[in-house]
Structure formats: structure tokens, C-alpha cells
Amino acid sequence: MNNHIEKRKQTFKVRDMDITVLVNSRIDDDTNKILFDYDLDNQAMNMAFAKYRKIKNMVNPEDIVSFRKKYNLSQRSLAALLGIGSATVARYEKGSLPTESISNLLQQLINDDEAFVSFFEVNASNLSNNDTDKVKTVLANMKNDLKFNLILKAYLLSNENDHPSIGDGFTKFNFNKFKNMVLYFIESSKNLSKTRLNKLLFYSDFTFFKQNTVSISGATYIHDHYGPVPNDFELLYSILENNGTIDYIPFSNGHGVELRTNQHVDANIFDADEMKMLKEVSDKFINFNARKITEYSHKEKAYYDTDSKELISYEYAFDLN
């Protein structure tokens, strides 16, 4: 029997609806009729189901899998939460159509984290202690992420630079670069204090601007009592502390704190010239303690020519000592 494959419209009865889809079909050369083909027919049926889901606004199998993985739920534990059999969840993920009520519930839980938290608190007793702890760990991490995003948003709102200018070195603020600059100086320094770190960041951004007319991080800097510092630096360090990037250890003399980290700098985020600049600044000030680097920065025109809390323009980069 000779046959070939071509696109044909096929209509399937999906629950209460006739669904027509244009699909690959195996055609008899002699009769021009559609022949049975297990793989092609399954593909056609799945396309019909997908069209039905779209028409009825039902949850997709991929969304169920992603939702389950998001909360570290197995098929068995998700089934227990929903009050259905684990085999049913497996069928849903393979393409079977859920009931309308289950579909609506899943969509609500997928689209609303608070709805899931409330649902979980009511139904957690259906899970084993181990499965419950897994979900609680995910929720704790999500809470930390939310806090991180809110603080970062607060910083960005107070230091808006959608239109880069001389104030930020003609560079839109890049939090990941700022974070990895911090990590670089923690890794390359001993007993690094916030006072010393602030100066290392300042000299990196401003010296790079002097050579390239753009800054590395896009951070803005202000005149502070101890020299130039990133604007709202306490807020930035709070973000890094809350997301586990940095930690503080009191100095043995009881004066100030040392920055520590268990993370490593992502050198790939910088280009070769940026990495070279970070190393040059680190090497230049390797033997400067907080007091010495503060005194050094006070001799910069960027410092003595500006007032307390005043934004330091990157124009001063060309006057660096």
C-alpha cells in the first residue's frame, strides 16, 4: 500500500466540543483517505487537546510540571495536596485533560504565590514531614528573594539612571557588576572594612572612567565624612547581606566589622579592561588600611571640592591623584 504524509484538517471530539486542527496525516495514495498512524494520530490528538485548553483557558501540562518543581513537590506530594491520585497528576503532565475544578485550582495556585501559601497551610497535614519541610524551605527562600527585590527596587528608585549621565559615568547601574566588584575586593584583600571597600569601588569606577569615559558599575558616589562612597551604600550592602552574598565579622579590636563571603567572583561578567582595572586598584591600595586610604581620598579634588552628601560628578575622574 503506497502512502504519503500531508497536512489535513481533522476533527476530534474533545469532551463537549468538536475541535478541528490542521495536522500531519498519513494518506492512502489510492483512496486519498487518512490511514491510521499511531504516532501521527497521537500528535493530532495532543494538538486538539492543546486547542481545547486554549479555548477553555485550562492549565497546560508544562505549567503543572514547572509549578511542581518550583515548590519542590513530587507528583505524589502534589497529588496529596490536591486530594487526587498521584497517577492522575502523572496523566495530567502527559497531556490528559484535568477536570475544570482542578484546572481552575491549579491556575490559581500557579499564578498567585499567596494563594499557594494559604492552600499549603490548610493542606500541609496531607504531606509527610519531609515533603512539608521541602516546601517550607522553598517558601523561606522566596520570602528572602522578595525582600531582596524590594530593597533593590528601593535603591533603583532613589538612584534612577534610565538616562545615563556624567553623574553615573554614562553607565546604567549594573547591580551584578557592583556585586562582583565587592566580591573581587573581598577575595583580594585582608581584613576588608566597609570604609576601605567604599574607596576601592570609587577608585575603580572613577579611574576606569578616566581611561574609557564610562564607569564599570554605573554607581553614583557622594561626599561622605570618610571620603567618597557609593550613594546609599548601606542599602546596597544590606541587599548583599540579605541575599547571602556578604557577611560581617567584628574586628578583634572591637572597632568596625570585616566583610566576608562564601561566594566567588564571576570574572566573566567583566571584560578584560575592567578586570585589569580592578587588579590595578587592588594592587595600588593593598597596604592601605582604612585610615590611610581615607586620608588619601581626602586629598582628591572630588572630595575637597564638594560638600557633605553632595553627588560627586565623574568629571572629577580627570583630576585623580
153 within domain boundaries: no
Count: domains in the chain: 3
* 137 and 173, same domain (yes or no): no
DSSP string, 250-309: E-TTSSSEEEE-SS---GGGS-HHHHHHHHHHHHHTTT--HHHHHHHHHTSHHHHTS-TT
Domain boundary among 90, 114, 146: 146
Same domain flag for 225 and 315: yes
Is 120 in the same domain as 242? no
Looking at the structure, tell me whether residues 238 and 125 fall in a common domain.
no
Q: What is the pLDDT of residue 162?
A: 65
Same domain? For 210 and 301 the reply is yes
In a domain, residue 155? The reply is: no
Would 170 be classed as within a structural domain?
Answer: yes
Domain membership flag for residue 177: yes
Residue 131 lies in a domain: yes
Phi, psi at residue 225, to the nearest 5°? -55, -40
Q: Residue 152 falls within a domain, yes or no?
A: no
Secondary structure string (H, E, C) spanning 29-76: CCCCCEECCHHHHHHHHHHHHHHHHHHHCCCCHHHHHHHHHHCCCCHH
Residues 161, 164, 167, 171: is their CA dihedral positive or negative? Answer: positive
187 and 261 co-located in one domain: yes
pLDDT in tens, the chain (321 residues): 799 999 999 999 999 899 999 999 999 999 999 999 999 999 999 999 999 999 999 999 999 999 999 999 999 999 999 999 999 999 999 999 999 999 999 999 999 988 999 999 999 999 999 999 999 999 988 887 777 777 777 777 766 666 788 999 999 899 999 999 999 999 999 889 999 999 999 999 999 999 999 999 999 999 999 999 999 899 899 889 888 899 999 987 777 899 999 999 999 999 999 999 999 999 999 999 999 999 999 999 999 999 999 999 999 999 999
Helices of type H across 159-271: 175-188, 194-212, 233-242
- 82: closest CA among 69, 61, 96, 68? 68
Asked if 164 and 218 touch (Cβ cutoff 8 Å), the reply is yes
Task: Report how far Cα 110 is from the mean position of its chain's Cα atoms.
Answer: 18
Q: Which domain holds residue 26?
A: 3-56
Residue 126 lies in a domain: yes
Q: Which of 22, 27, 28 is nearest to 7 (CA)?
A: 22
Alpha carbon distance 169, 215 (integer Å): 5
What pLDDT does residue 72 have?
Answer: 95
Whether residues 177 and 308 fall in one domain = yes
Query: 289 phi and psi, to 5 degrees?
Result: -85, 180
On whether both 226 and 98 belong to a single domain, the answer is: no
Report the candidate in 23, 82, 75, 83 with the shortest Cα–Cα distance to residue 47: 23
User: How much is the pTM?
Assistant: 0.60
pLDDT value, residue 274: 98
Angle at 59 between CA 15 and CA 78, to 5 degrees: 110
Strands 34-35 vs 17-28: parallel, antiparallel or unpaired: antiparallel
pLDDT tens-digit readout, 195-220:
999 999 999 999 999 999 999 999 99
Say whether both 52 and 96 belong to one domain: no
Task: Provide the β-strand partners of residue 227.
Answer: 224
Instruction: Quote the cell numbers at residue 78.
Output: 502534589
Task: Check whether residue 268 and residue 173 sit in a common domain.
Answer: yes
Same domain, 125 and 26: no
Across the chain, what does the average pLDDT equal?
93
Q: What are the pLDDT digits (tens) for 183-194?
A: 999 999 988 999
CA distances from 126 to 80, 81, 120, 132, 221 (A): 6, 6, 10, 9, 54
Question: Is the residue at 266 inside a domain?
Answer: yes
Residues 40, 188, single domain; the answer is no
